[in-house]
């Protein structure tokens, strides 16, 4: 009876220890990832999201300025492919249940005169805030890699104009022409809710 009791106690201890050890393992892994990426950010801290004010009224009108129209999710080029073409990545993201079709409200792409081109995306604030850290990071990375492929930085806002996230790159001269990259491009992802920067030393990539 004593041996049997000790075996039961041992089984209980292992059962209780397993979730704790698993949680500690995940926590340690996350800390390591954040630590490595934070060091990379410090090494490339020059990359900053555009400070051009986001104006919801201008966004609704599809205007980058009072005299300059931008490219929106409803823009159709009658003579060729609309660029940047973001419908495919929008549909790919929308097809995932965790994001859904209600997350992305629309976008406005603007060519910069004194700063890099940018795409401003407006998302559903309630859905965005319900996403966990990894889901938000996945969205920023995937959408940002597509916009940067056309030579555009990415900013993510709520409908009121509050900045949620950004994907900012240091472009070489041939990015906008969709030519093969001869040199690496550094990109920074920023998630306001996480208040964390992550830096990718080479773009495009499928991960870090």
Rg (CA), the chain: 22
Tell me the pLDDT tens digit for each residue of 79-91.
777 889 999 999 9
- List the one residue out of 170, 188, 172 whose CA is nearest residue 180: 172
Predicted confidence at residue 116, as pLDDT, reads: 84
- Per-residue pLDDT at 181: 47
In a domain, 107, yes or no: yes
- Tell me what pLDDT residue 137 has: 93
Residue 16, classed as helix, strand or coil, is helix
What pLDDT shows up at residue 44? 45
| Predicted local confidence at residue 198, as pLDDT | 56
Asked whether 53 and 67 are in contact (CB, 8 A), the reply is no
Burial 52-83 (b: 16+ CB within 10 A, else e): eebeeebbeebbbeeeeebbbbeeeeeeeebe
pLDDT at res. 39: 35
The answer to whether residues 125 and 72 belong to one domain is: yes
Q: Are residues 94 and 29 in the same domain?
A: no
126 and 38 part of one domain: no
Residues of the chain with pLDDT under 70: 1-46, 172-184, 195-208
Supply 108's token pair.
């406005």
How many domains does the chain contain in total? 2
Q: Is residue 29 part of a domain?
A: yes
Question: Which helix or strand (DSSP H or E) is residue 187 part of?
Answer: strand 187-191
Domain that holds residue 142: 49-200
The confidence score (pLDDT) of residue 189 equals 87
Q: Same structural domain for residues 112 and 196?
A: yes
**Continuous segment of H or E residues that includes residue 169:** strand 163-169
Residue 107 — φ and ψ, nearest 5°?
Answer: -150, 160
Does 207 fall in a domain?
no
Q: Write down the pLDDT at residue 171.
A: 78
């Amino acid at each position: 009876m004593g041996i049997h009791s000790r075996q039961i106690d041992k089984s209980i201890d292992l059962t209780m220890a397993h979730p704790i050890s698993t949680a500690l393992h995940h926590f340690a892994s996350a800390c390591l990832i954040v630590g490595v990426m934070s060091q990379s950010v410090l090494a490339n801290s020059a990359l900053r999201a555009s400070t051009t004010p986001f104006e919801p009224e201008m966004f609704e009108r599809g205007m980058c300025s009072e005299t300059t129209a931008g490219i929106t999710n409803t823009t159709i080029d009658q003579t060729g492919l609309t660029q940047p073409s973001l419908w495919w990545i929008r549909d790919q993201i929308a097809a995932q249940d965790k994001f859904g079709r209600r997350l992305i409200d629309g976008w406005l792409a603007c060519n910069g005169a004194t700063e890099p081109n940018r795409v401003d995306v407006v998302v559903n604030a309630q859905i965005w805030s319900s996403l966990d850290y990894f889901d938000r990071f996945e969205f920023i990375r995937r959408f940002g890699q597509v916009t940067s492929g056309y030579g555009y930085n990415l900013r993510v806002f709520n409908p009121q104009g509050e900045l949620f996230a950004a994907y900012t790159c240091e472009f070489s001269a041939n990015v906008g022409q969709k030519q093969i990259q001869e040199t690496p491009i550094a990109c920074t992802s920023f998630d306001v809710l996480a208040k964390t920067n992550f830096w990718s030393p080479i773009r495009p990539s499928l991960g870090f």
